[in-house]
Amino acid sequence: MKVSVKYFANMRDRMGRADETVELDEGATVASLWAKVSDEPMPENTLIAVNMEYTNTEEALKDGDEVAFFPPVTGG
């Protein structure tokens, strides 16, 4: 299956790309997607959205899903 992946803010800088399409095995989760796209652990407090709804690393993915990774939001 194929999923579309988007990286925002400093996640884009960290990954060296803004988006990509990734081929995954059926039954893949957000965690297994991250393991495929990065050699480093996911930064703590990373925000994850699948099809524009916030979720977690255990979310099962389906063909055609859009996954977005956002850095933790801070400020004041």
The sheet carrying 19-23 orders its strands as: 19-23, 2-7, 66-70, 47-50, 53-55
| 76 has pLDDT over 90 | no
CB-based contacts of 50: which residues, under 8 Å, 6+ apart?
A: 30, 59, 61, 65, 66, 67, 68
- Each residue of 7-63: pLDDT tens digit? 999 899 989 999 999 999 999 999 999 999 999 999 989 999 999 999 999 999 999
The CATH class for the domain spanning 2-70 reads alpha beta
Boundaries of every domain in the chain: 2-70
Q: Which residues contact 11 (CB under 8 A, 6 or more apart)?
A: 46, 69, 70, 71
